[in-house]
Structure 1
């Protein structure tokens, strides 16, 4: 369930008076997602998503996120456009929450991608990296390499409760960050391009959504986050070279990796897997059993972490 702040039909009607998008004809909560309250809104002029931003997103970051989404939509990427009201403002307030009306993107998310779908996603990621080359606003990665030791400390002895092998795996990965790659190209990245944040229609990417972890960081880190999300089985026990090769081929068609980026892929992959191990572990340990959010298993990314620790650049590229 992803509706934490209720919105009534009366609330919505008043909200829509700020826009030139007609009156609502249907309205329902969207179950997908875990961070914000989302509603599907049909009006006499089209279909939209109404998002209310909950407390786990810093409201100070919202103008940056919405500016990025608008920039990408202006570049012709399949990114839903934040809708501005009659005064030109996209960021609003509704029921005590920051809110935004966003264009609806057609398509579906897939659970088990094919190589062809991985190729399409690689090409879309490359287009995103090209399109952000002139996006000059900067946002630090709040879940980047400097955040991982503090996150691990917050998990503490709880890591062993998740799995007895997890503390050593995390400690080794943290030690490896002492040689974190430097000097690689930096840009605006999505940082969370999982299958549930990509919409496809007949094999084409029709939507790239959920930019609320986007930031300024190593560009190849974004590539390997996408690799970790698309090229393994859901529980992380199997790496699929055919998916990895397709992802690499798609990315090469629209952007490509420099030799130094290729060489750094395994270490960047360790970091990407560690980031999701730690955030999932923290949620696993601190989410009350009665909470509406479904906890995600940290071990699915612990298995990916172990794979990257012994991988070669060719293996990450599916060669």
Structure 2
């Protein structure tokens, strides 16, 4: 979440008049994240989120995202739901951007995730993968392996401004992943961005999954790899095997990883690290002037990528092969 497009109070009040959610009491921009402009609304009916879609989110993809949230909710996954306006529409236009109001989920995201948080995320991710199995809409992952070279090309000439040698490091890894990326693993709906700030907890209980605006159809185990990178490293970027074991054990109790998925996991984790390294690098080098946004450090993912390059197999993520049933 972030704020790239500001919204005036009168403009917002006019927009809200088309919804049955009461009168506006207050609103504030949310600076976390990097993709859309987001605001927390307080009306006489309660709290809501307002999202203005921009950057990588295409308007034509919005029915997929919003439809997926409704589908997952019908399958017992606790995720936010779009609010319909007085014309029974879930999409509107505000400040020149497609806009939607999303209902508010109680909870806070964990600033210091522990093994119990990681286990809850593993359980929730596996349930999401199963629940998405009969979702009929599809969306290709524009940020999978075929989308990484265009990102690299955008940032390549300036990569060494961030760290000397970064250009060659990225080029070599991209060449390797393009040649080695698996093509025949189980696929389905993935969240693709399940970072700690997209998972809400009430105490130790997971209360909801949010921000589905990268969701797509791709390799299910790639989503697992994204979470390993997002949840199982410490602030000093060291890998926490205890967290990884808790996450993978909880996931496998709901959805068993096949032998091929287990074998591919280190490569998928390298790909996940490169994907976020590249998008962070592009964002770092291209922050819009005046944007209320904090770009995330790309070098964090250089360290994670180097770790994943050193991984020989799933044991290095904390699990022996007998821990899974093929």
SS of equivalent to 1:28: strand
SS of equivalent to 1:171: helix
SS of equivalent to 1:11: helix
Instruction: Name the counterpart of 1:214.
Output: 215
SS of equivalent to 2:99: strand
Instruction: Name the counterpart of 1:225.
Output: 226
Structure 1 pair 291–52 and aligned structure 2 pair: CA distance change class (3 A): closer
TM-score, length-scaled by structure 2: 0.91
Instruction: Single out whichever of 213-222 and 69-78 deviates more from structure 2.
Output: 69-78
SS of equivalent to 2:27: strand
Q: How many residues align?
A: 318
In the aligned structure 2, how far is the partner of 1:83 from the partner of 1:244? 36
Q: Could you tell me whether the CA contact under 8 Å between 1:284 and 1:295 is conserved in 2? A: yes
Q: Is 1:199–2:200 an aligned residue pair? A: yes
Q: Could you tell me whether the CA contact under 8 Å between 1:234 and 1:300 is conserved in 2? A: no
Displacement after TM superposition at 1:290 (Å): 5.8
In the aligned structure 1, how far is the partner of 2:38 from the partner of 2:282? 24
Instruction: Name the counterpart of 2:254.
Output: 254
Q: Is 1:182–2:183 an aligned residue pair? A: yes
Instruction: Single out whichever of 118-127 and 103-112 deviates more from structure 2.
Output: 103-112
TM-score, length-scaled by structure 1: 0.93
In the aligned structure 2, how far is the partner of 1:291 from the partner of 1:2? 8
In the aligned structure 2, how far is the partner of 1:222 from the partner of 1:55? 22
Displacement after TM superposition at 1:213 (Å): 1.1
Q: Is 1:153–2:153 an aligned residue pair? A: yes
- Give the RMSD, CA atoms, in angstroms: 1.9
In the aligned structure 1, how far is the partner of 2:287 from the partner of 2:308? 28
Instruction: Name the counterpart of 2:134.
Output: 134
In the aligned structure 2, how far is the partner of 1:154 from the partner of 1:10? 38
Structure 1 pair 165–212 and aligned structure 2 pair: CA distance change class (3 A): same
Structure 1 pair 235–163 and aligned structure 2 pair: CA distance change class (3 A): farther
Gaps of 5+ in 2: 321-326
Q: Is 1:276–2:273 an aligned residue pair? A: no
Moved over 6 A (4+): none
SS of equivalent to 1:116: helix
In the aligned structure 1, how far is the partner of 2:40 from the partner of 2:293? 19
Displacement after TM superposition at 1:231 (Å): 0.3
* Map 1:37-186 → 2, pairs under 5 A: 37-177=37-177, 178-186=179-187
Instruction: Single out whichever of 289-298 and 192-201 deviates more from structure 2.
Output: 289-298
Q: Could you tell me whether the CA contact under 8 Å between 2:32 and 2:294 is conserved in 1? A: no
In the aligned structure 1, how far is the partner of 2:73 from the partner of 2:84? 13
In the aligned structure 1, how far is the partner of 2:209 from the partner of 2:284? 27
